[in-house]
Amino acid sequence: MLKLTPFLGPHRRQLALVLVLALAQSLANLLLPRLTSDIVDQGIVRGDQFHILEIGGLMLLISLLATAGAIAGSYVSAQVASGFGRDLRGAIFARTERLSVHQFARFGAASLVTRTTNDTTQVQQMLIMMLTMVIAAPMMAVGGVILALSQDAQLAWVLVAVMPVMAVVFALIMRGAVPLSTVMQVKIERLNLVLGEGLSGVRVIRAFDRGARQRQRFDHANLDLTNTAIAVNRLIAVLMPALILMLNFTSVAIIWVGSHRIDAGVMKVGAMFSSLQYAMQILFAVFMVTAMFVMLPRASASAARIREVLDLEPEIADPAAGPVVEAVRLPGGKGHIEFRNVSFQYPGAEEPALTGVSFTAHPGEMTAIVGGTGSGKSTLAGLIPRFYDANDGQVLLDGVDIRTLPQAALRARIGFVPQTAVLFTGTVAANIRYGRDDASDEEVRHAATVAQALDFVEAMPEQFASPVSQGGTNLSGGQKQRLAIARAIVRRPDVYVFDDSFSALDFTTDARLRAALRDETVHATVFVVAQRISTVINADRIVVLDDGRVVGVGTHAELLESNEIYREIVSSQISLDEVA
């Protein structure tokens, strides 16, 4: 929690105001019992009715002031807490946007969404509660004790004595309840896991006729959770009666001690009156703090998760501002990509993902990257747009190390198509234009044509103006993939990177698309990551990866001749179809 305090910095003045208002409010609330004791001692005892009315008027005035203070406090704290939440959320989002693809994957999108939304809300709510209820509590407790002391020291000790007792009782109950509720959380997750598995595996469960077993698993988890929940709630059930009993005993003690003090003539009846009020006010303050302690573990867990994101320095940084590096003019157009002895290891990984990769790709050529799963194909593709940076060696674009280029400038020259297509809410046209904002309608249409998307787009009710729902759920996998390809085409990039992008397409579309792409990309450098030999057979250059190393570079025919691993890959595919 404390680590997020810098975000309170801009609200310093408002915070001070909240404190002052809370203090004023507490003082006013404490003055009321004090004035009642005046009514008793000076009004009732002396029979002075005018004095009673006078004090009554004063009390009204003071409670009005207290209310005004509370409302003003609520106004300021609402702005502080919401502003704090807004700034925090903004900081997390901005930081997340700057994370490298790899850093991002370490958290996962779902977890980052939770951190940006739910976790900030959690912390924000905690702050609101602290500002409106909790900060006044110690003032009330301390103020109450001081006022009680000023009236009669011995009676006040009753109030002072009860507070540590309350704290101990509270601590004892919590010591039992907190571990139990942690256990309960685990069991809730277990139940959700079983339930979730039952839903996602419904076909298999029914296919194997194992519904009874699934029910049994669920019943077990359910019963387990229920028993723990009962135990937790039974323990928690002690809390309120115990605290109230202590308030009750405090009242009795005040009357008992008070009666003796009054008898001794050292205290007035009014003081006993007000002490009873203080006891109630102090207890109420303790309840508020209790409530905060209950919320605190959740909020601080949220704060820790937020901190984790904010503490993460983006791996990929732009070069310090300086003279723009001039691209070297290489023959054959723009978009030469060279890997020069590139090694890459994911942070925390035991083995490098790529080791000593070197090859060069030129404009107008198609370079295919093949290899088994885990051989480093997608990692290699991701190095080109700087999703991550090489640990060793260099990636050069037109002879310039890409790390010396601003990220935006580098990526503006790359058309990237991922393995699974991602589309955004908006129209079909807007999704294609995501590749280049100022693309004309004609260019958008052309890109869709090349990507073999025109047919289905025109079949949609509003053609290019048709909406794409969140996550593209109103389109099939193949349709989404074709729009993702159109998005890269409209960019007219110097370098295309297709990261295994053709798998969602049926074979006829795949073939037509690749033919159309060949015409479109005559001046561009094209990278294709692929599983299937049929996709790469016509490539100008095939880079064969095995365990992160380049084990062969050449055309299909050359590699078939000379490369053992390539032959193995080819024969494994052929054997599937021809030999088995």
Partner 1 sequence: MSTESRPQPSGPPAAPRPPASIFGPPRPMGGLGIPAQKAKNFKGTLNRLLGYLRPHRNALAVVVIAGAIGTVFQVVGPKILGLATTKIFEGYLAKASGAPGAGIDFDGIRRLLTGLVVLYVIANAFQYLMQFLMANVAQRTVYALRQEVEAKFDRLPLKFFDTRTRGEVMSRAVNDLDSISGTLQQNLTQLLTSVLTLIGVIVMMLTISWILTLGIVLTLPLSLVIVARIAKRSQKFFMQQQAALGALNGHVAEMYGGHTIVTAFGHEQRAIATFDGLNAKYYDGAWRAQFVSGIIMPTMMFVGNLGFVFVAVIGGLLVTRQSIAIGDVQAFIQYARQFSMPIMQLSGIANMIQLTVVAAERVFELLDEPEEAADAPGATVIAEPRGAVQFDRVHFRYKQDVPLIDDLSLDVAPGQTIAIVGPTGAGKTTLVNLLMRFYDVDGGSIRVDGIDIREVKRGALRRTFGMVLQDTWLFSGTIRENIAYGRENASSDAIVEAAKAAQADHFIRTLPENYDTLINEEASNLSQGQKQLLTIARAFLADPAVLILDEATSSVDTRTEVLIQESMHRLMHGRTAFVIAHRLSTIRNADLILMMEGGRIVERGSHHDLLAAKGRYAALYESQFAGRAVTA
User: Which residues 510-529 are close enough to bind partner 1 by CB under 8 A?
Assistant: 510-511
Which amino acid is residue 504, in one-letter code? A
Contact 28, 66 (CB under 8 A): yes
Pairing of strands 400-401, 392-397: antiparallel
| Residue 252 or 332 having the CB closest to partner 1 | 252
Contact 466, 427 (CB under 8 A): yes
Q: CB-based contacts of 546: which residues, under 8 Å, 6+ apart?
A: 371, 372, 375, 565
Total binding residues toward partner 1, as defined by CB under 8 A: 187
Contact 536, 530 (CB under 8 A): yes
Least distance to partner 1, CB of residue 295, Å = 6
Binding mask 306-345 for partner 1 (x = CB under 8 A): ----------------------------------------
| Residue 329 or 579 having the CB closest to partner 1 | 579
461 lines the binding site for partner 1 (CB under 8 A): no
| Residue 204 or 332 having the CB closest to partner 1 | 204
Q: Which two tokens stand for residue 465?
A: 């103006």
234 lines the binding site for partner 1 (CB under 8 A): yes
User: In the set 106, 298, 340, 403, which binds partner 1 (CB under 8 A)?
Assistant: 298
DSSP string, 37-79: HHIIIIIITTT-HHHHHHHHHHHHHHHHHHHHHHHHHHHHHHH
**Helix or strand run (H / E) with residue 528:** strand 525-529
Q: Which two tokens stand for residue 234?
A: 């039974």
296 lines the binding site for partner 1 (CB under 8 A): no
Binding mask 493-512 for partner 1 (x = CB under 8 A): -------x--xxxxxxxxx-
CA end-to-end span of the chain, whole Å?
A: 62
Site for partner 1 in 347-376 (CB under 8 A): 371-375
Q: CB-based contacts of 535: which residues, under 8 Å, 6+ apart?
A: 368, 502, 510, 514, 528
251 lines the binding site for partner 1 (CB under 8 A): yes
17 lines the binding site for partner 1 (CB under 8 A): no
Q: How far apart are CA 142 and CA 149, in angstroms?
A: 10
Site for partner 1 in 150-189 (CB under 8 A): 177, 181, 184-185, 188-189
User: In the set 211, 319, 332, 347, which binds partner 1 (CB under 8 A)?
Assistant: 211
Classify residue 245 by its DSSP letter: H
Q: How far apart are CA 483 and CA 425, in angstroms?
A: 13
Binding mask 534-573 for partner 1 (x = CB under 8 A): x--x------------------x-----------xxx-xx
User: In the set 2, 5, 199, 459, which binds partner 1 (CB under 8 A)?
Assistant: 199
Least distance to partner 1, CB of residue 6, Å = 18
Site for partner 1 in 257-276 (CB under 8 A): 258-260, 262-263, 269, 272-273, 276
5 lines the binding site for partner 1 (CB under 8 A): no
2 lines the binding site for partner 1 (CB under 8 A): no
Residue among 401, 393, 396 nearest 335 (CA): 396
Distances (CA, A) of 34 to 60, 163, 212, 250: 13, 21, 69, 18
User: In the set 6, 9, 71, 266, which binds partner 1 (CB under 8 A)?
Assistant: 71
Site for partner 1 in 94-123 (CB under 8 A): 94, 96-101, 104, 109-114, 116-119, 121-122
197 lines the binding site for partner 1 (CB under 8 A): yes
User: In the set 26, 144, 156, 277, which binds partner 1 (CB under 8 A)?
Assistant: 277
